[in-house]
Amino acid sequence: MPTKVIEVDRTSRPATLTFAPRFNVAIPFIDRHIAEGRGSKLAIRTPTEDVTYAELSAAVDRAARVLLAAGLGRGDRLLMVIRDGPAFFYAFWGAIKAGIVPVPLNTLLRHDTYTFMIEDSGAAGLIWSPEYTPEVGRALEAAYHKPDLVLLTDGADDCFATRLAAASPAPFEAVSASEDADCFWLYSSGSTGRPKGTVHRHRDMVVTSEYYGVEVLGIREDDVCFSEAKLFFAYGLGNGMTFPLWAGATVVLNPARPGADSSFPLLERFRPTLYFGVPTLYAAYLAVFETRRGDFSSVRWCVSAGEALPANVLERWHEATGLWILDGIGSTEALHIFISNRQDRIVPGASGTPVPGYRAKILDENHQEIVGEGSGRLLVSGLSTARLYWNNPERTAITMLDDWLDTGDTYRRDADGIYYYCGRSDDMMKVGGIWCSAFDIESRIIEHAAVLECAVVGQNDPAGLLKPHAYVVLKDGVGAASDGLREELLVLCKTRLAPYQYPRWITFLAELPKTATGKIQRFRLRDG
C-alpha cells in the first residue's frame, strides 16, 4: 500500500494506522489495486455480471466525472436508493473520489421517510434503481427541497448507466481530503421514529476494515465474501464492500431479497468462503434445512450481527453445518462490529469482547463506571465512530460524549470480561437485524378509526428472536375486538410500514398501564 497515503503497522497490537495529511479513502480502497497488479482479478460477482478491479476503478473514475458534470460539488450530498450491484459501488466511490458525500438509504422504506431524508439532508442529487420508483417518485413530489440531479441507475435513455458509458475513460485524480474530513453518511433510526444522519469520516472504513475485517475475521485476498445484509446497512457495507476491497478479495452481491430461493443458488455457484447473516435469517434457514439444504461447504466462517444471536440458534447451526458463527454487536454510529466473539473463543449467547482498537465501559444508573462484573448502559470508544448527527445537535450531545459513544444498549459483563446483551435502553428494537421504532408502528395503528391508544414492545418468538407486539385500546362505542379488526390493523401496518415492521401479535386491552402523569409503562407490557 503506498506509504504516501496510509501506513499499516501490523507488528503492533492493535495495528497502528498512520494517515497522510492529504488522504482520500478512495485511493486505498479503489486505486491501489491497479498499482498492486490486481486489475484482472474479479472484484464483484452478481447473478448476471462480473466486474474486475480494473473495470471497477475505471467505472468509479467515470462516475466521479458524471457527478461533477451534473453540477454536484465538494460537500454536496448524493442520496442513493440503489439495489446491491456494481452501480452502488460506482456511485458511492465515484462520489467520494470527487469530494461529494454519498448517502446510501434503506431501499425498504416508504415515501414519507424518503421525503424527510431528502429535506433533512438538503441533497443535491438522488440516484435510484427503477424498482424503487413508486416510493421515491412520491417522495420527490412531496418534498419541498428538490435535488438538482435526479437520475435512475438504468432503464432509461438518460440514466446513470448511459452517462457512465459516455464519460471519459481517463484516470480521475481523487479530490484532496483528510482522514477526519466528512466522507459519507448513513441514516440511523431514532427513538422518536425520525431517522438521524450519521456523519462518517474518511478514516472510518479503514478502521473497521483493519480492526474487525483483518484482526478479528482474518479476511485475506483469496476470500469470497457473501453478505445477506444489504449494502445500505452499516453491517452490510463492511461485509459486502469495504472488507473485500480492503483485502483485495471478491464479493458476491445478491440484488434480490435475502432468502433460500435467491441465496442458495449463489452459495452453490460462487462458493463463498466468508458468509455474513443476521440471527433471523440463520433461524429461518435452519427451518428450511428440514426440506432443503443450502450448500455452505465452501464457507470457513459465518458472521452474525444486527441483533443478539440466541445460543440455541448458534448451537443448532453448528450441528447442522459444522460451522461456528462469530456473533458481535455493532451500530450505524460505530460503522461496524465493536464487540465480538473470536475464532478461538466463541461463547454461546454472548457478544464477546471488545474488538482491537475499541474500548467499552458500562455505566450504572448514576452514570458511574462499573469496574469488573455488572450490568448497565454500554458506551464504546473507537476511531470509526460518527462525528455527529446531521441537523440534530441535541441528540449528538446525548449520544456522542467526547471520545465515547452511548450505544443505548444495556449490557452485562461477567468476571471473564465477556459482554452479554440485555436489551435496548429505550423503546427501540431490532427486527431481522434492522432497527425498528415502536413509535412508527404505534403511529400507523392509531390511524385506524377504531383505535384509541396503542403501545408496541418487543417480544421473543419461539426461536428467541425479537419481534413487535402491539397492545391496542379501542375507542368507546366501536364494538368488540375481533379477528377481522386485527386483520385490518395488520393490513394497515403492512401497507404503510417497511416490511419488517408489522406487529407479529396484536393484543386488545381495556387500558394501557400508565404512570400517574399518564406515561405508558412499557416495561409492564414486556413483563407480561
Check pLDDT > 50 for residue 376. yes
State which H helix or E strand residue 266 sits in. Answer: helix 260-270
- 13 vs 184, higher pLDDT: 184
Which of helix, strand or coil describes residue 315?
helix
Q: Give pLDDT tens digits for 149-181.
A: 999 999 999 999 999 999 999 999 999 999 999
pLDDT-derived band at 23, boundaries 50, 70, 90: very high
For residues 439 and 305, state if they share a domain. Answer: no
Residue 47 lies in a domain: no
pLDDT-derived band at 299, boundaries 50, 70, 90: very high
Residue 188 lies in a domain: yes
Q: Give pLDDT tens digits for 129-152.
A: 999 999 999 999 999 999 999 999
Domain region containing 83: 6-39+53-202
Check pLDDT > 70 for residue 428. no
- The CA distances from residue 455 to 85, 280, 436, 461, in Å, are 38, 23, 14, 18
For residues 280 and 367, state if they share a domain. Answer: yes
Q: Give pLDDT tens digits for 315-324.
A: 999 999 999 9
pLDDT of residue 315: 92
For residues 444 and 329, state if they share a domain. Answer: no
pTM of this prediction? 0.87
pLDDT-derived band at 226, boundaries 50, 70, 90: very high
Residue 170 lies in a domain: yes
The distance between the two most distant Cα atoms of the chain, rounded to a whole number of Å, is 75
**Of the residues 169, 202, 235, the one at which a domain ends:** 202
Average pLDDT over residues 463-485: 88
For residues 463 and 373, state if they share a domain. Answer: no
**Of the residues 150, 172, 202, the one at which a domain ends:** 202
Q: Do the Cβ atoms of 29 and 204 come closer than 8 Å? A: no
Determine the Cα–Cα distance for residues 288 and 274; give it in Å rounded to an integer.
Answer: 21
Residue 150 lies in a domain: yes
For residues 237 and 368, state if they share a domain. Answer: yes
For residues 191 and 276, state if they share a domain. Answer: no
Check pLDDT > 80 for residue 437. no
- The CA distances from residue 202 to 7, 184, 208, 224, 363, in Å, are 15, 8, 12, 25, 30
Cell of 209: 476494515
**Of the residues 401, 424, 447, the one at which a domain ends:** 424
Residue 64 lies in a domain: yes
Q: How many CA atoms lie within 13 A of 243 on its CB side?
A: 34
Determine the Cα–Cα distance for residues 315 and 301; give it in Å rounded to an integer.
Answer: 14
Q: Give pLDDT tens digits for 496-528.
A: 888 888 999 999 999 888 754 455 777 788 866
Q: What is the CATH number of the domain that holds 487?
A: 3.30.300.30
What residue type is assigned to position 77 of the chain?
R
pLDDT-derived band at 374, boundaries 50, 70, 90: very high
Instruction: Examine residue 348 and say whether the peptide bond preceding it is cis (omega within 30 degrees of 0).
Output: no
pLDDT-derived band at 119, boundaries 50, 70, 90: very high
Which has the closest alpha carbon to 19: 176, 158, 178, 249?
Answer: 178
Helical H segments across 374-478, by residue range: 393-399, 438-446
Which of helix, strand or coil describes residue 451?
strand
Residue 129 lies in a domain: yes
Determine the Cα–Cα distance for residues 528 and 341; give it in Å rounded to an integer.
Answer: 32
pLDDT of residue 189: 67
What is the rounded average pLDDT for all residues in the chain? Answer: 92
For residues 419 and 445, state if they share a domain. Answer: no
Q: Give pLDDT tens digits for 360-373.
A: 999 988 899 999 99
Residue 404 lies in a domain: yes
Q: What is the CATH number of the domain that holds 274?
A: 3.40.50.12780
pLDDT of residue 522: 76
State which H helix or E strand residue 495 sits in. Answer: helix 483-496
Query: What's the domain count of the chain?
Result: 3
- 279 vs 80, higher pLDDT: 80
Task: Name 235's Cβ contacts closer than 8 Å, sequence gap at least 6.
Answer: 227, 229, 276, 278, 305, 306, 330, 336, 337, 433
Radius of gyration from C-alpha coordinates of the chain: 23
SS (H, E, C) 169-202: CCCCCCCCCCCCCEEEEEEECCCCCCCEEEEEEC
For residues 149 and 264, state if they share a domain. Answer: no
pLDDT of residue 451: 87
- The CA distances from residue 74 to 63, 149, 164, 292, 414, in Å, are 15, 15, 20, 50, 47
pLDDT of residue 441: 87
- 163 vs 450, higher pLDDT: 163
Q: What is the CATH number of the domain that holds 13?
A: 3.40.50.980
For residues 397 and 449, state if they share a domain. Answer: no
For residues 409 and 501, state if they share a domain. Answer: no
For residues 259 and 132, state if they share a domain. Answer: no
Task: Name 233's Cβ contacts closer than 8 Å, sequence gap at least 6.
Answer: 106, 306, 332, 433, 434
Q: Give pLDDT tens digits for 64-75.
A: 999 999 999 999
Residue 196 lies in a domain: yes
For residues 500 and 397, state if they share a domain. Answer: no
Q: Is 416 exposed, middle or buried (0-12, 13-18, 19+ CB in 10 A)?
A: exposed
